[in-house]
Amino acid sequence: MLTMARIGSSQLAFPDFRGATRRIVLANVVAYFLLVVVGLIFRDRFPHILDGLSFIPGSFLHGALWQPITYSLVHVGIFGTFLELLSLWFMTGFLEMMGQRSSWVMGLFVTAILGTAASALLLYGICQVIGYSPGVRPIAGTFGAIFAMLAVIGVRYGETQFMLFPLPIGVKAKYLAVIYTLVAVAMLFTSQGIYAFAQLGGGLSGLLWLRRAPGRGMGFTLSERWYGLRNHYYRWKRRRAARKFEVYMKSQGRTVRFDGNGNRINDDPNDKSRWN
């Protein structure tokens, strides 16, 4: 749903082009021009290449496991791509301008991309169970991530005024998020139902990220947990070595005790010798 790209800023300039904003926008720009070149070289096979990179639930279930990531890099049409990338620039830049870390914004983007694909897959599975065919339409673009960022901005910065491009009409972010949610709900009952459902799933993923994600981003949290597990492993090795040493010293007629952290316990504080 590219109508979201009509959102503009009431300010005179876009946010700074840096951090996660620059990485996300440039990745999509490079992907767009690469596909343009591929289309010129492989004219006959180009539609099949696009289908292979776009997200098709049936293809994913048959082994196209890369599609939940690559579909977000597929953009068709220069005008729609321009509006989509402009929206990405504004949304991600706005979040970074408001103090969100680049890692946090990047985590939000990736979570929304995966959540959008997961929602489309869920609807596809439900339709298969009830015997209804939703139509095989490849899903492409970052519409779900854009909607997720709008939802996050609407919840966290709801009083911010936005301009509806190209109309000079100001709307608060929280109302804008509600409007686009209602539009997506209405689209559920059209031929674009799977697109709308996927978009709503992307928005929900963004809200879950806002509620559950750490302030420093998922990368920082994963690294902290990794170091915590590593330290836990080293402490376990220390305790095991301490137990083995206790058994060895006992066989030598000496008593040596260690605490739960593998540190030696000296029962006699006046004893300055190394062992009891």
Considering the domain boundaries, does residue 276 fall inside one?
A: no
What is residue 215's predicted lDDT score, i.e. its pLDDT? 56
Instruction: Specify whether 120 is located in the same domain as 36.
Output: yes
What is residue 243's predicted lDDT score, i.e. its pLDDT? 78
Query: Which of 176, 198, 216 is where one domain is finished?
Result: 216
Q: Is the pLDDT of residue 239 over 70?
A: yes
Single pTM value for the model: 0.73
Instruction: Specify whether 149 is located in the same domain as 260.
Output: no
Instruction: Specify whether 142 is located in the same domain as 239.
Output: no
H or E segment to which residue 8 belongs: strand 7-9
Apex CA 15: angle with CA 68 and CA 9, to 5°?
Answer: 90
Considering the domain boundaries, does residue 271 fall inside one?
A: no
Q: Which of 43-57, 60-74, 203-217 has the highest mean pLDDT?
A: 60-74
| Locus of tokens 């000079």 | 168
Considering the domain boundaries, does residue 270 fall inside one?
A: no
Q: How confident is the model at residue 166 (pLDDT cuts 50, 70, 90)?
A: low
Instruction: Specify whether 204 is located in the same domain as 233.
Output: no
Query: Which of 201, 216, 231 is where one domain is finished?
Result: 216
* Total domain count, the chain: 2
Rounded-to-integer distance, Cα 221 and Cα 215, Å: 9
Instruction: Specify whether 188 is located in the same domain as 257.
Output: no
Considering the domain boundaries, does residue 249 fall inside one?
A: yes
213-234 residue pLDDT tens: 765 555 555 565 666 677 777 7
Instruction: Specify whether 151 is located in the same domain as 183.
Output: yes
Instruction: Specify whether 186 is located in the same domain as 229.
Output: no
- Where is pLDDT greater, at 171 or 231? 171
Rounded-to-integer distance, Cα 166 and Cα 211, Å: 33
Instruction: Specify whether 33 is located in the same domain as 140.
Output: yes
What is residue 276's predicted lDDT score, i.e. its pLDDT? 46
The helix/strand count (H/E) of the chain reads as: 10, 5
CATH at 167: 1.20.1540.10
Separation in Å, CA 54 to CA 48, 87, 130, 165: 10, 20, 25, 28
Considering the domain boundaries, does residue 193 fall inside one?
A: yes
Considering the domain boundaries, does residue 272 fall inside one?
A: no
Considering the domain boundaries, does residue 176 fall inside one?
A: yes
Rounded-to-integer distance, Cα 56 and Cα 240, Å: 52
Going by C-beta distance under 8 Å and a sequence separation of 6 or more, which residues neighbour residue 192?
1, 137
Considering the domain boundaries, does residue 274 fall inside one?
A: no
Q: Is the pLDDT of residue 64 over 80?
A: yes
Domain that holds residue 238: 222-265
